[in-house]
Amino acid sequence: MSSRLPRPACPSPRAPRNASPDGKFWLVNLAGAEGDVLGIGGTGGLLALYWKCPHLGCTVPWVPGFQGSQVNFPGVNGWFRCPCHGSTYSRAGVRVFGPAPRPMDTMLLSVNGDGSVNVNTGKITGGAADNPLRAVAYNG
């Protein structure tokens, strides 16, 4: 199963979007190390995040106005936040709070020469601290 998204459906950096309701994923375009809250070396690019919380499967929305902790993430606004139990994830899907056992899962993504993107919705990889490293370079 695959979703093909035309170039206009791809988000600009800092603007996660639900580009495909049928595919059940968020498409994010990370700007540099954005979302790399653990500092593992993310360099940015496109990332397809499965929108189900790894805790109990609730659909995780993007909450643009939610602010990070003033201690751990001062000035960071906008997080993925599960409405069921409060698990909170960075723009790269890295878990920073809550009962979820791991970061958000990712889907295999490839960029085509015309700037369109293929997301393999049948290829889901368990979320891990390396989520930011899974981003695919994108110059759309």
Domain assignment present for 80: yes
Which domain range does residue 77 map to?
Answer: 2-134
Could you tell me the CATH number of the domain that includes residue 34? 2.102.10.10
Q: Average pLDDT in the 122-135 region?
A: 96
Query: In angstroms, what CA-CA distances link 138 with 46, 70, 71, 87, 96?
Result: 6, 31, 32, 28, 26
Write the pLDDT tens digit of every residue in 89-99: 999 999 999 99
Specify if 139 maps to a domain.
no
Residue 66 lies in a domain: yes
**For the chain, what is the domain count?**
1
The conformation of residue 136, written as its DSSP 8-state character, comes to: B
140 lies in a domain?
no
- Tell whether the model's pLDDT for residue 21 goes beyond 80: no
Residue 76 lies in a domain: yes
- Overall pTM > 0.85: yes
pLDDT on residue 4: 85
Predicted local confidence at residue 65, as pLDDT: 81
Residue 102 domain-assigned? yes
Distance CA 138, CA 46 (A): 6
Average pLDDT over residues 104-111: 96
CA dist list (Å): 131 to 16, 65, 84, 94: 15, 23, 23, 7
What average pLDDT does the segment 105-111 reach? 96
